[in-house]
Amino acid sequence: MDSLFNKLSKLTNITKFYEPDLNDELTSICLYANSEIRKKLCYLPLLGKKPKITYDDVIMNMLNTQQTESQNVLEHGISVNKFYNDLMGPRSLSWKLPEWFSTNEDFIKNNLHSAEDIKEYQIMHDCGKGYCIEFDSEGKRHFPNHAKVSFETFSTISNNKTVANLILNDMVMHTIKADEVEDFIKNNSKETVLTLLVTALCELHSNASMFGGIESTSFKIKFKQLDKRGKQIINNLNK
């Protein structure tokens, strides 16, 4: 209840109610909810029951959840897919392409999941962020375990296990360590590994404006990490 109070208090005025007959236990909270607040809270379960959500519910939640100050979660997913389509060519957006992609472009393009699954994955990859959003003391957004929550959210509205698995592993290429790469490749299809790798490249470029562009220090640091993992993955797949 306290964690729920902390989350909601960032959105609207809220009051706690304590029950004297239950050792002053916090038993309820009351909040002011206008139409916008109702949209943000519509996913919360009643009396502990798991809500039934539809595809349209999730899309609406993505629209109402800001990824950044200037972009909601759905817009972010659409942007990633836009960069992916541009990467497949002909290219018109600004790119910093790693050598592992440029020298293995045909191999990579011929070993990806279907265009339909990739589009669904990229647009929906953060679909759970509205269900795990938290705000810190400075009002900054955080999305703890968002890949797992997004996987669980997508799995309730779709039976597409390929897309669900891609969503679950969306952060892998950004966080995987060198000694973990071989096992990850062994446990996943070539199509999954390369789709995740290419999408990570598209995500990095989609987010570049947040870092100050592709020439910014933040972008270069993230690019360097992805470049190292990409080389390692391509070398492993070409053995």
The residues spanned by each domain of the chain are: 1-41, 50-237
* Predicted model pTM: 0.79
In terms of pLDDT, which residue wins out, 43 or 191? 191
238 Cβ contact list (under 8 Å, min separation 6):
104, 107
Q: What is the pLDDT of residue 49?
A: 55
Integer Cα distance of 87 and 78 in angstroms:
14
CA nearest 193: which of 175, 166, 223, 231? 166
Split at pLDDT 50, 70, 90, the class of 212 is confident
pLDDT band for 50, please (50, 70, 90 cuts): low
pLDDT of 43 above 60: no
Segment 205-212 mean pLDDT: 90
Q: How far apart are CA 62 and CA 78, in angstroms?
A: 11
Rounded mean pLDDT, 67-80: 95
Q: What is the mean pLDDT of the chain?
A: 90
Task: Give the per-residue pLDDT at 52.
Answer: 78
Asked whether residue 13 carries a pLDDT value surpassing 70, the answer given is: yes
Q: Is the pLDDT of residue 40 over 70?
A: no
Q: What pLDDT, in 10s, does the model give residues 145-194?
A: 999 999 999 999 999 999 999 999 999 999 999 999 999 999 999 999 99
Determine the average pLDDT of the residues in 60-68.
Answer: 95
Sequence-separated (6 or more) residues with CB below 8 Å from residue 61? 42, 43, 73, 127, 130, 131
Cβ proximity of 68 and 187 under 8 Å: no
Residue type, 39: K
Ramachandran sector of residue 24 (left: φ over 0; alpha: ψ -120 to 50; beta: rest): left
To which H or E segment does residue 153 belong?
A: helix 146-157
5 vs 134: which has the higher pLDDT: 134
Check whether 4 has a pLDDT greater than 70. Answer: no
What whole-number distance in Å separates Cα of residue 106 and Cα of residue 111? 9
What is the predicted pLDDT for the residue at 26? 76
Say whether pLDDT at 209 is over 70.
Answer: yes
For the chain, give the percent of residues with pLDDT over 70.
89
